[in-house]
Structures are given as C-alpha cells and as structure tokens.
Structure 1
C-alpha cells in the first residue's frame, strides 16, 4: 500500500506537469496570434452541403458532387442539355475536332486521367486562353468525383465558327457551339477587372458601408466605347442625350481625358439604380458585372446567347431585368415607368441579386458548370483521346500539361 502511495506521489505531479505544458502551448482563445475574423473561403467538404442552397455558406464551395450541383443549381445547365440533345443521334467525331478551323485564339486540349493537356494553339487573344485554361484546370483539380477523358477545341475570339467547339457566346443558329463561362469569370486584367470574387467583395463591401437602394442615383448609367462602330451603342447615346434620367457617356469620344474623368469602378456602377446593358462586337462581357449590383439591368433585346442567358426574366414575379426594343425606341417610356414605380424597380433589382450574384454566377456554380460540360461532352463523343502518338517509330506524349503550358505560354521553346 505504501508503495502505491509513493508511485502516485510521483505520477500525479508528472501528469500535472504535462497538462500544464499542454495548456501553455495551446493558443489562448483571446491570443493575438489567432485570426480575428473568418476568411471568406474556408476548406469545405462536399458533405457540408445539405441539399438546400445557402449563399453565405456555399458560394465558394468548389467540392460539390454532380448530384449536389444539380440541387444547388437546378436551372444552370439548360444550354448544355440543348447541345447534348442535338448530338444524341449524331455523336461528335474525332474528324469534327480535326476540322475545327485553327483561327486566332484557338486551343485544342484534352483531359486524360484527371489531368488537363494542351495539344495545339494558334495565335493569342490577350489573356483569354490563360484564363479559360486556368478555370478548366481548377474545375478538374477540385472535382470530388473522377471526370471522363475527353478531347475538345475552343476559341477565345468574340465570335467562333459554328463547329463542334466551345465558345463564350453564340447566335441561335450556331447550334454546334457549346457555351462556356467567359474568361472574365477568372479575371479580365486588360480592363483592370479582377476576378468575380474580387468584384463581389468590392460591391458587397460598398453595400455594407451604406449603399442602400434609397441612396442610389435615380438615373440610367452607361459607360463604354464606340471604337468598333457599334450602331446599337451610338443609338443609345442618341436617345439619351440631354435626358434628365440618363447618365450615358462614351469613354472614347473626347480622348484620354474623358476616359479618366468618366471611368466608373464597379461599386460606382452599383451606386445607380439603373444600368444599361449593350452588346458589343458580340455579347457583352460586362453583363455579369452589372448583375453583381443590386440595380435594375436595362437591356435591349439580345442577339447573342451566353451560358447563363436563359436565366434572364423580363416579366413576372421573378423578373430580374428590364428589356427594351433593340433600337431603344421605348427606353424613355420604360425609364419613366420605373422611376414612378420605385417599389417594383427595387423588387427587380433584388431578383437580379438573388438569381445571379447570390447563386448562378458564384464560383461554386462556375465549377459545377465546367464539370457538367466535361461529362456531357464525353457522352456526346464517339471517341476517347489517345494519350500517345507515334513519331519516328517511338511513342510520344501528345501535348503539354496545363501546368507547364500556363508557365511557358508556348507549345515549344528553346532550353
């Protein structure tokens, strides 16, 4: 018994010493080394999604399974379903991919064993190829489920040939084109627009700082260029000239000084109740940015279709934008009605935010779209890519890994 007591006298102090050391090294809840706020994005498991979309929790979750993507974004994949159905009885062949014209902005690539490879390229259009390849690669690397092997071509020009390839926009008759999120979802550095997430942070930060609906400017805002001679933009300037409800100006009509004086940041755009949307050479890459604002997007009838165009609603309880005639002839009447019916205008603005900013234009939605595209393309194709080709009697890997290409930005270089 005495021996046991002696052992306890030795063991208990040792245990207390160990416990005290643990308490010492464990960060104190109020320790200054601990973060003072939760980061916008935290590593998440796909199991954190419970089937009901919650913006604050789910917007940056890149780990959703396809089943969870379907629950989170039930209306996102309409154009992919259209494209897939059109090829149900006429699968995409390797010959079709071979026949896609390699015009400026062309990339041919494949996904093989969960790795993106660039096989060929032609020319370059600013940073667009890099942005789109980066977005595809992110969708692959974050996928919680294996993705099929596919081979495909895409072009980053504003208007692509009606062929079996991927593009940012199409006309109704371009039925062979499969739509993808445009390069600006990654970043658009040429116009000093960061990623969608950065723009979102700026806009939501301005709202938290007091940018409420009642304080917004009660005018229609538009800023843009006329350098390509767009008739529809010239017409907008004409019908809004000297109108008390319009703040519509060209950034290039009076030279560089006008650009500096009249340029508006995205939070400054969002400080207006009404935002004019115009197509340019084809679609407008600016539309997704306008849809980040709690404002009423006022658009002429659109000729060009983007991957989320089908989500636009011009009437009804879910109306999320206002549509006017393509020549803007009824714009003044619509603007007078909106300014007179402020509660209705605010409802449209709220619907715009709920549909686009807080759901279908999130990073979570984007990666879900890319992964569904890969799956639907595989279903519609009658071949799988060959990883090797033969050169001088030897097997040679086709293409470069995306990681290598994104670093070198070339298919070949001197060592």
Structure 2
C-alpha cells in the first residue's frame, strides 16, 4: 500500500521534472491536447465581409481560405519561370530612364524606392497619383503582414500598357494573354483615384452601399447605363454609342470632363441602374472594379486585357457573374431583350457578382493578401539576394542605395500642374 508520504514525494518529483522541462527546454513540443487548437481554428475560419473586408493582417492560411483561386495568376507566373528554369536576374529588374517605371526593394519587411526613373517624362497624365497610390497599397500589405516577407527587388510599370514602358519582366496593372513577363498587381484605384473624384476605394464603396441598400435590384432603372468619352478605344466605344442610339433599354451618353459634362453621372449613380456597361480604354478599364461593387449586372464586351481578378469572371453556367457580348456589341440588343424577359435570371447574376467581387475578391483585405502572395511568388524565382546598401571598397563605407517609402511619400514633389482636372488640388 502506498503511504501518504510516498504520494507527496512523487508529486514533488513530478513538479520538479515539469519545472525543469519548461525552464531548460522551453521550445520542446507541448503534450497539451489543446496544442492543435490554432490549426483547428484555421480550418474553421470563415471570411465574413462585414467583419473582415478591411482587415489587412490575415495570416497566409486565412488568406488562402478566404480567397481561393485569387492567386492563380501568381502561381502561373512562378511555374512558367520554374518550368523554363529561367530565374529572374538582377539585370532584369533594372529600369530604363524616361519611362513610366519604378525600381522597388522590399527589405526586412520595409519598402524602398531604388530608382524613380524620370517620372516627368512619363506619358500618363496622373503619374504622381499612380505612383503614390500604388506604393501605398504595397506598403499597407507589407506593414500589416503577420508573417515576415522575403527580400525582393522588382520593377513596376504604372503605364496603362506595361509593355510600352518595358519589354522585360515587370509588375503591371494589366496584360494580354501573350504578355507572360507582366506580373499582375492591383492598380492605384484600390487606394485612391482622385483625378476622377474618388477620394478612396472605401469612400466610393460606402456611397454605393447606400444606394444599393435603398434601391433593391428590381426597383432600379431597367436600362443599361454608360458614360464616357469615345477618345479612348474609339473602335469599341463609338460602336457602343451607335448600337445603343435611341434604344429604350439603353442610357448611353458621351461625357468629357471639363468640356461636355451635361450627362455626367458619378460612379455610384451608375448603381441606380440594373445593368452597367463596361468598356476597355487604352487597355484595361479602371472603372470595371467600381461597377462590380454595384448590386447590378455588369455587361462587358469580350476582354483583351486582364487584371489580377479577371480570371474569376464567369460568362455562363451556374456561376455566371456578368453578361458577355461581342467586342463590336453586335449581340448586345439580343442579350438585353432576353434578360428583359427573364429579370429573375438577371437579378441572380447581379447577386452572384456582388458576392464574388464586392463582398470578397475586391475587398481591401483581398488586395493585401494578393500583394503578399505576389511578393512570395516573386521571391521563389528571384536569382539574386537584394542589398540595402552599396559598399565602397576604396573608402570602406556603406551607403544607402534606396529611399525608404516613408521619406519618399512625404517628399515626392507635385508635377505637371493641372493634370488632375477639376478634382485635383488647385
């Protein structure tokens, strides 16, 4: 029979052993049955737009669970490099002067500008806005990352046509199917597009939510709306104007900011219509994402240019989330007549679009998750180790070879006065 003294002695010995284990071996695996609770919680993780749309600190596992399929373009870009055994060399990230390009560095979870190029010679009209807004998106994704990110160096084109600025590898807002060297990045409009009157992405999203909350889809105008200038992509836009002229199902008018604004509609006012028409411009359409925030049906011609979420569009089947027509709009009237007779089908397309894009893949949280996955993907095929300093062998001194984002963003000067139109600073 075990005595009380023996029980006490055994208890003391166990306590001493456990104390020694945690003092001298703090990193040893825990035998606690709750040790797997974190992994278990991730399996149960559900992205709730009302709670998480603006949460930028989602872990990699949460990002994967929240936005499955979002990273397909990154995965393809990585696999193409790996399959061809052609890693990205340091020479490939160098930018040419006088183009709409930046050379950027991410080092120990901080963003640096290595080469600004010659932004005054860039041929886009709102270059400073594009630069600051795009870098701010990247900075936010880095700063909010709950996990350390790899060190990378990369070129960024802020041109509507990235390959017009470089024929080499680059990050860019859009690409055609054949432009494998363009790694897609969310454009500046996900931060701010003040040149056309959008203070921030969320400010416009809130204005759209107010309209959609007060106007159910069936109470919206049953017309297809479009405003714009035929100056960009005239072969597409002029044909749209022609096809919709005097049609009872269309509300299509030309608008030129600063000249002819008689029929001007703000982007949130487009959401008062059941159907919103989207057209490409110089390349991709910067307004597409904003139209997708509406609880309306997006109607688009067949696209030539892709963005980082374009592969999530579905033109038919049970997951259809937009209506696709020919690039010359030749079957637009046929489509509109069909859905006029099947309004419930159209409403379902609008609902699915809103669920997929407005509530999920276009949220600020998704943008940050995507950018971090892009950084990780690039690092996998980067053949060099980025350096923060340059070493002078003669003097033995180290000098910084880049400008931190924090210093850059407060010192980057305004240029090209008046380029912002009526919305810009005076």
TM-score, length of structure 1 as denominator length: 0.84
State the match for 1:271 in structure 2. 272
Q: What pairs up with 1:140-151 in 2 under 5 angstroms?
A: 140-151=142-153
Q: Report the CA distance shift for 1:114/1:257 in structure 2 as closer, same or farther (over 3 A).
A: closer
Confirm whether residue 179 of structure 1 aligns to residue 184 of structure 2: yes
Instruction: Choose 103-112 or 213-222, whichever is displaced more.
Output: 103-112
2:81 matches 1:87: yes
Question: In the alignment, which of 64, 68, 71 is matched to residue 74 of structure 1?
Answer: 68
Residues 105, 129 of structure 1: 8 Å contact kept? no
For 1:106 and 1:397, how far apart are their aligned partners in 2?
21
Shift of residue 140, structure 1, vs aligned partner:
0.7
Higher mean displacement: 236-245 or 381-390: 381-390
**Cα pair distance change 1:257/1:113, threshold 3 Å:** closer
In structure 2, the residue corresponding to 1:381 is in which secondary structure? coil
Q: CA deviation at 1:326?
A: 0.6
Structure 1 residue 107: Cα displacement: 0.7
What secondary structure, in the 3-state scheme, does the structure 1 residue paired with 2:236 have?
helix
* Contact kept in structure 1, 2:171 and 2:185, CA below 8 Å: yes
Superposed displacement of residue 233, structure 1: 0.5
Runs of 5+ in structure 1 lacking a partner?
1-46, 411-415
Choose the corresponding residue for 1:57, options 35, 51, 56: 51
**More displaced 10-residue stretch of structure 1: 188-197 or 399-408:** 188-197
Q: 2:223 maps to which residue?
A: 219
Q: How far apart are 1:226 and its partner, in Å?
A: 2.1
Question: How far off its partner does 1:381 sit?
Answer: 0.5
Tell me the secondary structure at the aligned position of residue 61 of structure 1. Answer: coil
Q: Deviations over 1:337-363 (max 9, x none)?
A: 111110000000001100000000001
Q: State how 1:33-48 maps to structure 2 within 5 Å.
A: none
Structure 2 Cα separation of the partners of residues 177 and 206 of structure 1: 37
Q: What RMSD over aligned residues (CA atoms) do the two structures have, in Å?
A: 1.6
Q: Secondary structure at the match of 1:118?
A: strand
CA contact (8 A) 1:49 1:64 kept: no
Shift of 1:167: 0.1
- Corresponding residue for 2:15? none
| CA distances 1:96-118 after superposition (whole Å, capped 9, x unpaired) | 112x4344321111011111110
Per-residue deviation, 1:246:
0.6
How far apart are the structure 1 equivalents of 2:97 and 2:303? 28
Displacement of 1:67 in angstroms is 1.0
One of 202, 222, 225 as aligned partner of 1:197: 202
| 2:248 aligns with one of 230, 244, 248 | 244
Which residue is equivalent to 2:422? none
Aligned to 1:96: 92
Q: Secondary structure at the match of 1:219?
A: strand
1:41 paired residue number: none
Contact 2:233 2:281 in 1 (8 A): no
Q: How many residues end up aligned between the 2 structures?
A: 359
In structure 1, how many angstroms separate the alpha carbons of the residues matched to 2:128 and 2:238? 26
1:121 equivalenced with 2:125 (yes/no):
no
Q: Which runs of 5+ in 2 are unaligned?
A: 1-40, 120-126, 414-426
Q: 1:217-259 CA deviation, whole Å, 9 max, x = no partner?
A: 011100011234621101100111111111111103xx85631
**If the length of structure 2 is used for normalisation, what is the TM-score?**
0.82
The aligned residue for residue 327 of structure 1 is 328
Q: State which of 159, 162, 172 in structure 2 corresponds to 1:157.
A: 159
In 2: Cα distance, 1:193 partner to 1:281 partner = 20
The correspondence for 1:136, drawn from 135, 138, 146, is 138
Contact preservation (8 Å) 2:233, 2:282: no
CA contact (8 A) 2:42 2:61 kept: no
Identify the range of structure 1 (53-62 vs 141-150) with the bigger mean alpha-carbon deviation: 53-62
Task: Determine if the alignment matches structure 1 residue 351 to structure 2 residue 352.
Answer: yes
Partner of 1:33: none
Change (3 A) 1:278 1:408: same
Shift of 1:48: 9.6
